[in-house]
Amino acid sequence: MTLPRIRFDAGRATEPLSGFSSEPHELWVEVGFGGGEHAEALAATHPWAALIACEVFENGLCSMLGRLVPEDAEDTAPLPENLRLWDDDARDLLRMLPDASVARLFLMFPDPWPKLRHLKRRFVHPALLPELARIVRPGGLWRIASDDPTYQAWVTEVLAGQNFFDVPPPATERPDGWPPTRYEAKALKAGRAPLYWELTRATAAR
Per residue of the chain (206 residues), give pLDDT as tens. 788 889 999 999 999 999 998 788 999 999 999 889 999 999 999 999 999 999 998 898 989 988 888 777 667 678 899 999 999 999 999 999 999 999 999 999 998 766 555 567 788 999 999 999 999 999 999 999 999 999 999 999 999 989 999 999 999 999 999 999 999 999 999 999 999 999 999 985 44
Check residue 112 and give its pLDDT: 74
Q: How far apart are CA 105 and CA 91, in angstroms?
A: 12
* Class of 3-201 in CATH: alpha beta
Check residue 120 and give its pLDDT: 73
Looking at the DSSP assignment, which residues form a beta bridge with residue 86? 54
Neighbours of 205 (CB within 10 A): 5
Q: How far apart are CA 145 and CA 167, in angstroms?
A: 13
Check residue 205 and give its pLDDT: 47
Residues 40 and 67 sit within 8 Å (Cβ to Cβ): yes
Check residue 101 and give its pLDDT: 97
Closest C-alpha among 200, 191, 186 to residue 109: 186
Q: How far apart are CA 51 and CA 20, in angstroms?
A: 9
Neighbours of 121 (CB within 10 A): 12
Catalytic residues: 111
User: Does the global pTM surpass 0.75?
Assistant: yes
